[in-house]
Amino acid sequence: MERRAATGPGSREAIAGLERKGAVGGGMDQGEGDLSFPEGFLFGAATAAFQIEGASEADGKGPSIWDAFTRRAGSVRTGENGDIACDHYHRYREDVSLMAELGLDAYRGSIAWPRIYPEGRGRVNPAGLDFYSRLTDALLAAGIEPFFTLFHWDLPQRLQRELGGFRSRETAALFADYVETVVRALGDRVRRWITINEPWEFAFFGHVLGEQAPGVRNPLAYLPVIHNLLLAHGLALERIRALRPKSEVGVALSYTPIFPATESARDAWSAAVGNAFMNHISLKPLLKGRYPELIARRLRLFFPRMERGDLELISRPLDFVGINYYSRERASYRWYVPFLRSWITGRDSAEGVERTAMGWEVWPEGFGHILSVLRKDYGNPPVYITENGAAFVDSLVGDRVHDPRRVSFLARYLAALRRSMEEGSDVRGYFLWSLMDNFEWSYGTEKRFGIVYVDYPSQRRIIKDSGLWYRDLIRRSRGGRAHAGG
């Protein structure tokens, strides 16, 4: 549960040490394997509104919980806020040109609810809709298909203050109204929608640990927030289908496989609890219409009041499941962890484990693991990988950013993904996290996930070596076929 470790084997110092020793980079076997993807497979890149847009008060935008949270002392390690971020709001044309240069088929961005409804409900702000309409047109003109996420964590602050945000069912209903407004404005041009991003992270980091917005520390909020987010998804899906029956709707869920720390039966049990708590907590209600038994039993006192039909609404058929995959973690039995008795960490003592700058273990095989679970336990749904990528310590040298570790990471993860497709998974596309370096939540701009480097003082964008590598991979995979949009 410490996905965001800053120190230890993955720290800046440790990686710099590895690089000095020549243990990583250029000469390293990239383990590519088969990287030719079938025709029609979409190659994309992803971002989220708060992480790139900046312009936090422009053209009538209201404050989000992230604007409020980042203003609290100590909430972001670097002391930054998202007022400027990558200034994408003003530079979106340049950013779309970069996407075209990379040859992307698709782009996963998100829409900021408080740009559309500055107070979360009531009055619509036409300038907000206009921004996303111009962005959509620019993408389509460049032959890039937009996949918009409708909620990537930047809830209007007013709803947090007045309703307690997603602790309240009312927020789910208001989300559906906002989605309807967006789909009315963009649904003639946007066909694929992602309702919500990572309910688990939002609920746990935002409401239990308080390390992310809204910064609440209350374990009792965990299940209500998850349930109301899933409800929001179900209500939004209904609205989108009613307005635009031909659109495709999915969600983006993190999946962090949890393994037992030792061979003991107790740790195996803890890993099962961990998987239920972090992964199946949203997958199961969405795809099977019920909460995982282990959680339903252990945390039964903490479920919010459910209404008849909730689970039915949540489990309406999806057009695709979006999976955000980065790393795995380990679980040990700990009697003192309340209710769960399970301690989950991505930082274990194992030496020699390759880690990213987040401290996350590099484990490409995770794709095979997750996709086999989806095949065996969830009926092999159509999947988009909605996020995958890595933060490493990058530096601009002249006009280049050499990031061989990211190239190696991507090559191995994509090869593993390709293998699971051979095994029968229906994977339709891959969105690399991230198009460009951006505001990595409570880490600020210090952690760089981009394949495009952002020089924040000048806002100059420089395609990293990994970006050039991705561009070539896309070209090769098309085998000379023209870009879909020309």
Q: Where are the alpha helices (DSSP H) in 289-391?
A: 293-298, 310-314, 366-378
Residue ranges that bind ligand FCB, judged by CB under 6 A: 48, 51, 197-198, 201, 254, 324, 387, 433, 440-441, 449
String of DSSP letters for 55-110:
-TTGGGPPPBHHHHHHTSTTSSTT---SSSTT-HHHHHHHHHHHHHHHT-SEEEEE
Peptide bond into 56 cis (omega under 30): no
Closer to ligand FCB by Cβ: residue 269 or 456: 456
Report the SS3 class of residue 441. Answer: helix
For the question of residue 387 being annotated catalytic, the response is yes
For the question of residue 440 being annotated catalytic, the response is no
What is the signed CA dihedral for 354, 360, 365, 367, rounded to 10 degrees? Answer: -150
Measured distance CA(441)–CA(209) in Å, rounded: 14
Closer to ligand FCB by Cβ: residue 193 or 433: 433
Kindly state the smallest distance separating residue 231's Cβ from ligand FCB, in Å.
20
CA distances in angstroms from 96 to 11, 58, 99, 436, listed in the order given: 32, 20, 5, 12
Closer to ligand FCB by Cβ: residue 67 or 310: 67
Kindly state the smallest distance separating residue 47's Cβ from ligand FCB, in Å.
8
Closer to ligand FCB by Cβ: residue 75 or 197: 197
* 329, 361, 387, 440: the active-site residue: 387
Closer to ligand FCB by Cβ: residue 113 or 333: 113
Kindly state the smallest distance separating residue 188's Cβ from ligand FCB, in Å.
28
Kindly state the smallest distance separating residue 324's Cβ from ligand FCB, in Å.
6
Are the C-beta atoms of 419 and 368 separated by less than 8 Å? yes
Kindly state the smallest distance separating residue 455's Cβ from ligand FCB, in Å.
20
Q: Which two tokens stand for residue 224?
A: 């209500």
Measured distance CA(31)–CA(148) in Å, rounded: 32
* 145, 198, 354, 361: the active-site residue: 198
Q: Which two tokens stand for residue 285?
A: 């209600």
Q: Please identify every residue annotated as catalytic.
A: 198, 387
